[in-house]
A = this chain, B = another copy of it.
Amino acid sequence: MIGVAVVGYGYWGPNLVRNFSEAAGAELLAVCDVNKDRLAAVQGRYPGVSITDDYESILRDPRINAVAIATPVTTHFRLAMSALMAGKHVFVEKPIAASSEEAQKMVDEAARRRLVLAVDHTFVHTGAVRKMRELVDGGLGEIYYYDSVRVNLGLFQHDVSVVWDLAVHDLSIMDYVLPSRPVAVSATGMSHIAGEPENIAYLNLLFDSNLIAHVHVNWLAPVKVRRTLIGGSRKMIVYDDLEPSEKIKIYDKGITLNGGSQANGEAVRQALVGYRSGDMWAPHLDMSEALGTELKEFIRCVEHAETPLADGHAGLRVVRILEAATLSLAQRGRVVELEPVRRVA
């Protein structure tokens, strides 16, 4: 049984509190927030949980083994680092930090102290995304492309662009699902309110192979779309997160390449490509709440010193791409190389 504190009870914090309060293996001991009203709400609903606006008291409490951080991204580094330095395991909202430099320091600190550092890439724990990973591992064949559209009339944010707000979901999914890692990024976008960050953006991820990935994110769309296409040499996937149950559809469709020289004229060239159209299949998915699964994994990792699916390195990789995309956005889509993530020796 590990003792847990949740820091931040704003938009996402209540979900962490609810799930930790129901999770076997963990005891939710305290909730910390700077806002008194929010703390009162916690008290009313969870009378047995301590409330505090003093983060230091959390860090000093020896019964608390792990801290879950659901505060604005600019505070992640400070809160997570002090928790790690106080010997606490850390679960932190995505993106893991406001810069790759910060994220790298968090990763290094956790590694040095052999503490679990997990980032809340929630989608990675949904039945749909796990099924996609399974299919990418076997069934789809060589992966040709990954294309995601994530648009709606969304809350404009003033401190981060739509890339940090929406594309972070796609990047965390790709980090888990794709068989290789991007080597460069380009992004174009536009702000339609003077002085504000981009509210529409298109990201290209380049790989050292013939895989190509693309993300369209938009806070100013008339309809909500959450749709990903994955093209493979053998099969293809449509992942529509707005479908109530059949979120993943697998198409036995594609092209078949016939052997033979391409040089022998048009007829032979035409014969090179055949078309295949077979069954479509929507597998039954585990529909249990992703956050519950994720916290269960976090608790197990803390108890057994294991590494979570979405660890600090995953969080760092995603932040590197967000940074590179931001740089590219400012330079009309210039390709920005991604340096490989360094692992602590």
Binding site for B on A (CB under 8 A): 44-45, 47, 144-145, 147, 149, 151, 153, 156, 158, 184, 186, 188-193, 195-196, 200, 202, 204, 206, 210-212, 214, 216, 218, 220-224, 229, 231, 233, 236-238, 244-246, 249, 251-255, 257, 262, 266, 269-270, 272-273, 275, 277-284, 332-333, 335
Contacts of A233 in B (CB 8 A): 192
B220 touches A254 (CB 8 A): yes
Q: Are A229 and B222 in contact (CB under 8 A)?
A: yes
Measured CB to CB, the closest approach of chain B to A270, in angstroms, equals: 7
Q: How far is the CA of A212 from the CA of B198 in the complex (A)?
A: 12
Known interface pairs A236-B221, A253-B153, A284-B279; A200-B188 also in contact (CB < 8 Å): no
Which residue in B186, B188, B190, B275 is a CB contact (below 8 Å) of A210? Answer: B190
- Residues on B with C-beta less than 8 A from A279 are 281-284
Give the dominant DSSP class at A's interface.
strand
Top 9 closest A-B pairs, CB basis?
Answer: A222-B251, A222-B236, A280-B282, A190-B212, A156-B273, A188-B204, A278-B284, A158-B269, A144-B192
- Which residue, of A192, A257, A282, has the highest number of chain B Cβ atoms within 10 A? A192
Q: Which single member of B193, B224, B281 contacts A272 (CB below 8 Å)? A: B193
Copies of this protein in the assembly total: 4
Please pick, from B158, B191, B211, B332, the residue contacting A270 in the complex, using a CB distance under 8 A: B158
With A45-B45, A284-B278 as known contacts, state yes or no: A255 contacts B144, CB within 8 Å: no
A142 to B125, CA, bound (A): 38
Q: Are A231 and B220 in contact, with the CB atoms below 8 A? A: yes
A344 and B269 alpha carbons, distance in the complex (Å): 42
> For the complex, what is the distance from the CA of A283 to the CA of B280, rounded to whole Å?
6
| Contact present for B229 and A212 (CB under 8 Å) | no
C-alpha gap A283/B156 in the complex (Å): 25
Whether B220 and A255, one on each chain, are in contact in the complex, defined by CB atoms closer than 8 angstroms, is yes
Min CB distance A339 to B, Å, is 17
User: Which residues of B sit under 8 angstroms from A280, Cβ to Cβ?
Assistant: 246, 281-282
Minimal beta-carbon separation of A159 from chain B (angstroms) = 9
Could you tell me if B214 and A202 are in contact, using CB atoms closer than 8 angstroms?
Answer: yes
Residue in contact with A158 in the complex, picked from B192, B253, B266, CB distance below 8 Å: B266
* Known contacts A272-B193, A279-B284, A281-B279; A200/B222 CB under 8 A: no
